[in-house]
A and B are shown apart, each in its own frame.
Chain A
């Protein structure tokens, strides 16, 4: 296969990973007040861990480049925040409820960061395309 837009696989992998990160952030925001996760405990914040990998592409010219992917979606180990809410059915004997360890401001900052990274990768795609089109215009007048 001809490599028409060089380096686009890396960018595509990064776009994929950033999309996963955005999905995880939206999950965190959605579960900011979930006191019951699948294991019965309050929801723990999820964090995406990225990993670099050597690109084992078939064509020789991109063999040296490395790409990245989502290694795992880990749990944030910070303890849950205790909120005094005696009317809540989840409250303990002292009226304290364990709420998820999610800070909505932190999530919003992460959201902006992820969306800016996505944008940066889109700019790389745009640039690769314009480079290809300018190269095709060599000698045209």
Chain B
């Protein structure tokens, strides 16, 4: 699912207004936008939810291996550190996705109509 999925529908909806064809410039917009918006909402939110839960699983995994190491079980040091690294990088990925999302949201809010 592309995070910019709403954009093609939006731009194709705008197109008749820029180069008006006789008769159908107003009819294009309502027919295109409602079809794109609900699909994008459900898909993207479930993807985001899945991602958050995977990041959470990585964090749990990391803390579990650190706990095992500290409680004297036979866990190699590098394995604990690598799982911590993986957790940190996937968290960064999640934060980055959130930042891009907020950026595009604010870009849309700033848009002059």
Contact = CB atoms under 8 A, between A and B. Distances in A.
Contacts, number: 44
Interface residues of B, number: 15
A136 B96 contact: yes
A125 B51 CA distance: 23
Main secondary structure on B side of the interface with A: helix
Contact of A5 (B51, B76, B86): B86
B85 interface: yes
A5 B93 CA distance: 12
Interface residues of A, number: 16
B92 A133 contact: yes
Contacts of B78: 12, 15-16, 19, 122, 125
Interface string A60-102: 0000000000000000000000000000000000000000000
Interface of B: 51, 54, 57-58, 76, 78-79, 82, 85-86, 89-90, 92-93, 96
